[in-house]
Amino acid sequence: MKLGITVGVPKETAPGETRVAATPDSVKRLVKYGFDINIEEGAGISAGFRDEDYDAVGATIVSSKEVWATPLVTKVAPPSSAEASSIPSGTFIVSLLEPFRNGDLLEGFAKQRVDALALEAIPRTSRAQAMDVLSSQAGIAGYRAVIEAAHHYGRFFPMMMTSAGSAKATKVTVLGAGVAGLQAIATARKLGAVVEAYDVRPETREQIQSLGAKYIDIQLDESGSGQGGYARELSEESKQKLQAALDERLSKSDIIISTANVPGRKAPTLISESVVSGMRHGSVIVDMATPSGGNCPLSKADQVVEAHGVKIIGYTNYPAMMATDSSNFFARNLVSLLDLFVRPRDSGEPTFIVNLEDDIIDTSLLVHQGTLRLKNR
């Protein structure tokens, strides 16, 4: 049965963005729901999907102009200002929109009467888990961050005893045990490193320990737990206490993977230059918080810099370095999200409905019928 609505999937144009918002597998599922699909020519190439793969599962391959004229556009990265300004009124765009830094983009959508759903605004609830692209992509990023660290580190991760001598296990410290941090811990453990981790949210202690890592126990006078599984900013006093307790441990680490982040704020500085200068020559820091200002003041976006003999990696888009699986997960998240709009599901004639009584739609639909809906943020 047809829903009478077409989903458009443009080729991503942001520098370094290799992912795509639909895969042949997700297209097959959306077609089953009743959607028609327009894929921009070459949209999936950098993620390993050819036009003919999409064509074979029922998508229509279209030009860039045609894809942007589709009623429902799904994307990975926020549209460029040129793309955004040419979107026709009445379009519904579903994408990462970076709402904290893109107020102008959202206001522009309201004026153009373009509806916009920001994937970042999907709540972190169990019902929304299957739609949560931040989590699916952060997990991939945490994995890739450890692979990058191993690549830039001149030693083994596991303890090795060979006839040519032995090597000690590498000591990895993970700062921030959210989605990326937990996956980094799991990956470093699988590679055989000795891992310890710290997070300001005390509830992460068990999660860290269940992955076989040591929890760094620092007692603060306040909890860093904020809303929805995210952290909140600490007081100046707690920041100083935390820093003093972390400095010595960090200096003794061979590898630091730092993921500490508070939504909408500059990332906290946790790895000072004096800590870096105290680390052993050849150590590696992966500063995953570089996109939000960095946990280390020496990290530089999309560069590997060397300071005091320590390599500091500041890549800003790890998921794009694993575009096939990142796109697979991203696209599956979108299938689950779009499923919310197809009602009734099991009986009658399903149609595409924007139901604002659904808390996931209500929270993430930031622009609707010309109105900015930031009330829940």
Q: In whole angstroms, how large is the CA radius of gyration of the chain? A: 22
Please report how close the Cβ of residue 342 comes to ligand NAD at its closest, in angstroms.
28
Site for ligand NAD in 313-332 (CB under 6 A): 315-318
- 194-198 vs 214-215, strand pairing mode: parallel
* Strands (DSSP E) found in the chain: 6-9, 36-40, 60-62, 72-74, 92-95, 115-118, 160-162, 165-167, 171-175, 194-198, 214-215, 255-258, 284-287, 304-307, 310-313, 342-343, 351-352, 365-368, 371-372
Q: Candidates 25-33, 88-96, 254-262, 305-313: pick the segment binding ligand NAD (CB under 6 A).
A: 254-262
Q: Which of 62, 119, 256, 260 binds ligand NAD (CB under 6 A)?
A: 260
Asked if residues 329 and 140 have their Cβ atoms less than 8 Å apart, the reply is yes
Q: Is 76 in the site for ligand NAD (CB under 6 A)?
A: no
Q: Candidates 20-28, 42-50, 177-185, 368-376: pick the segment binding ligand NAD (CB under 6 A).
A: 177-185
How far is the C-alpha of 272 from the C-alpha of 250, rounded, in Å? 10
- To the query of whether residue 326 is one of the catalytic residues in this protein, the response is no
Asked if residues 101 and 77 have their Cβ atoms less than 8 Å apart, the reply is no
Q: Is 134 in the site for ligand NAD (CB under 6 A)?
A: yes
- 169-181 burial by CB neighbour count: b if 16+ within 10 A, else e? bbbbbbbbbbbbb
- To the query of whether residue 54 is one of the catalytic residues in this protein, the response is no
Q: Which of residues 94 and 180 has its CB atom nearest to ligand NAD in the complex?
A: 180
Catalytic residue among 29, 33, 112, 132: 132
Q: Is 39 in the site for ligand NAD (CB under 6 A)?
A: no
Q: Give residue number: closest CB to ligand NAD.
A: 178
Q: Is 224 in the site for ligand NAD (CB under 6 A)?
A: yes
- To the query of whether residue 230 is one of the catalytic residues in this protein, the response is yes
Kindly list the residues in this chain that would bind ligand NAD in the complex (CB under 6 A). Answer: 134, 137-138, 141, 175-181, 198-201, 224, 230-231, 259-262, 267-268, 270, 288-292, 315-318
